[in-house]
Amino acid sequence: MSGAAAAGAEEAAPAKVNLHLHVTGRRADGYHLLDSLVVFAGAGDRLRLEPAPGLSLVLEGPEGAALAAEPDNLVLRSARLLAEHAGIRPHGRLRLEKNLPVASGIGGGSADAAAALRLLDHAWGLRLEPPALAALAARLGADVPVCLENRPRRMQGVGEVLSDAPALPDCGMVLANPRLALPTPAVFRARRGDGTPPATLPAGWADARAMARDLLACRNDLEEAAIGLCPAVAEVLTALRALPGCLLARMSGSGATCFGLFPSASQAAHAAELLPKAWWRWGGGLYDPGRAAYSAQAGGA
């Protein structure tokens, strides 16, 4: 039946990684203006939908317990917003396999919200035009529009201005989090200094080494503030830089997750296994829409 929740429907919610993040200014309403090159890693959450008369959310996966205390997860907010826009009653049992740590700077909640919009737009038979779906995404959070697209993008404005990213080479990535949540508002409040101009990036890179060389001229303007609030971020960065083959290490978003860039996915998967087992860590390649599943831990290439 048109508009009914489709049995077995699912969507990937890959981790968002800011290869650089410049705070370029601030609007009169207090929102910060950003410039960032965003990519998606092969680690992520997964959202499934089952038929049900009412709307509900079941939390699963190794990181699901961290969200158990939240009565109104972003996934539910996305579903209700979409249903309100379409003038229908929200329905379906959503199952969120939570593999990404919460409040970790890799867009876990934003990716989940975006996955809910994509999944329910299709399952409910709405087929909204991309601009309409993007407008709803922007109402849910600054990172939701870029997560809605799930592909490398240059992100500017307060997150709503998206443009083509440089052509990316084959590369690998390690993600590491010391299992400490770092709320975004607190990091922005702790930031000091003037705005940083937008990065100057080429049309593309021939290999990972060339990409890392250019990205070294960029920065994450929130990194210093994050380290002040959570000194373990500096420990993670030091550990990543010491890994064999690491070309660049930097914090993603507002932290505390940091990434290391590697020449290949296999090198990254091997390197992740060398990090402390007490951390959340993952190593592999960039997001591939053809992947059937995610691995939440080291070696998940």
Burial classification of residue 190, based on how many CB atoms lie within 10 Å of its CB (0-12 exposed, 13-18 middle, 19 or more buried): middle
Given the residues 35, 45, 112, 143, the one annotated as active site: 143
101 annotated as belonging to a binding site for a ligand: yes
pLDDT for 165: 98
Q: How far, in Å, CA of 137 to CA of 197, rounded?
A: 26
- Mean pLDDT along residues 89-99: 96
Per-residue pLDDT band at 215 (split at 50, 70, 90): very high
111 annotated as belonging to a binding site for a ligand: yes
Q: Which residue's structure tokens are 């390197």?
A: 271
109 annotated as belonging to a binding site for a ligand: yes
pLDDT for 290: 65
Q: Which residue's structure tokens are 């009914």?
A: 4
Checking if the pLDDT of 3 tops 70, the result is no
Q: How far, in Å, CA of 248 to CA of 188, rounded?
A: 24
Prediction pTM value: 0.92
- Mean pLDDT along residues 200-204: 97
Q: Known catalytic residue: 72? A: no
Cβ-proximal residues to 258 (8 Å cutoff; 6+ apart), any chain: 175, 176, 177, 233, 236, 237, 240, 249, 250, 251, 252
pLDDT for 69: 58
- Mean pLDDT along residues 280-290: 91
Cβ-proximal residues to 51 (8 Å cutoff; 6+ apart), any chain: 4, 5, 6, 7, 92, 93
Given the residues 16, 35, 45, 98, the one annotated as active site: 16
64 annotated as belonging to a binding site for a ligand: no
pLDDT for 103: 84
pLDDT for 31: 86
92 annotated as belonging to a binding site for a ligand: no
pLDDT for 8: 61
pLDDT for 90: 96
Mind listing the pLDDT tens digit for each residue in 6-48? 556 899 999 999 999 999 998 888 889 999 999 999 999 999 9
39 annotated as belonging to a binding site for a ligand: no
Mind listing the pLDDT tens digit for each residue in 127-174? 999 999 999 999 999 999 999 999 999 999 999 999 999 999 999 999
Q: How far, in Å, CA of 233 to CA of 152, rounded?
A: 25
Q: Which residue's structure tokens are 């996966």?
A: 61
pLDDT for 1: 35
Q: How far, in Å, CA of 210 to CA of 168, rounded?
A: 10
Mind listing the pLDDT tens digit for each residue in 45-79? 999 999 999 999 999 999 988 887 566 789 999 99
103 annotated as belonging to a binding site for a ligand: yes
Q: Which residue's structure tokens are 């951390």?
A: 279
Cβ-proximal residues to 100 (8 Å cutoff; 6+ apart), any chain: 13, 15, 43, 44, 45, 63, 106, 108, 111, 296
Mind listing the pLDDT tens digit for each residue in 246-272? 999 999 999 999 999 999 999 999 999
Q: Known catalytic residue: 277? A: no
Checking if the pLDDT of 95 tops 60, the result is yes
- Mean pLDDT along residues 94-118: 94
292 annotated as belonging to a binding site for a ligand: no
Mean pLDDT (the chain) is 92
pLDDT for 197: 96
pLDDT for 193: 84
pLDDT for 65: 85
